[in-house]
Amino acid sequence: MKPTYETHSIAIGYLLWLFGFTGAHRFYYGKPVSGTIWFLTLGLLGIGWLIDAFLIPSMDRDASLRYEAGMIDYSLAWILLTFLGAFGIHRFYMGKVITGVIYLLTGGLFLVGVLYDFWTLNGQISEINETGRTTAF
């Protein structure tokens, strides 16, 4: 059994939960399908959003078990994606300079790239943390 390290933050989870009707906290904890459902239904009309206030601690534990800790901080990358994603700042932070420049010049590839990153950011970070190196893309 591998040792577990805190990869995600409950505080950041609750901060994103405040915008929970957009599904941001669910994306953060690696639940892109339900995050998309929350986004499209405004947090299941607010009911799912309220229930999630009690589920965040378990989502945090699951994320810490699932994703690899390392040099890239999940919380910082998610804050950068959530608030500055169209500028590609999160990609620069992860060492993906070429796509960071592309995002910067195209508004996050016309926001489609930002949506892609909402679905895959945890996996991207985990892969970088596991290999211990960043890539140009």
Q: What is the pLDDT of residues 3-41, one digit of tens each?
A: 557 899 999 999 999 976 789 999 999 999 999 999 999
Residue type, 93: Y
pLDDT above 80 (res 83): yes
Q: Give the per-residue SS3 of the chain.
A: CCCCCCCCCHHHHHHHHHCHHHCHHHHHCCCHHHHHHHHHHHHHHCHHHHHHHHHHHHHHHHHHHHCCCCCCCHHHHHHHHHHHHHHCHHHHHCCCHHHHHHHHHHHHHHCHHHHHHHHHHHHHHHHHHHHCCCCCC
Among 11, 16, 48, smallest CA distance to 118 is for: 16
pLDDT above 70 (res 54): yes
Pairwise pLDDT comparison (134 vs 101), residue with the higher score = 101
Q: Per-residue pLDDT averaged across 85-112, rounded?
A: 97
Mean pLDDT of the chain: 92
Q: 78 pLDDT band (50/70/90 cuts)?
A: very high
Pairwise pLDDT comparison (2 vs 133), residue with the higher score = 133
Residues of the chain with pLDDT > 70, as a percent, come to 93
Displacement of CA 118 from its chain's centroid (Å): 6
Q: How far apart are CA 28 and CA 26, in angstroms?
A: 5
Phi and psi at residue 3, in whole multiples of 5°? -65, 145
pLDDT at position 76? 97
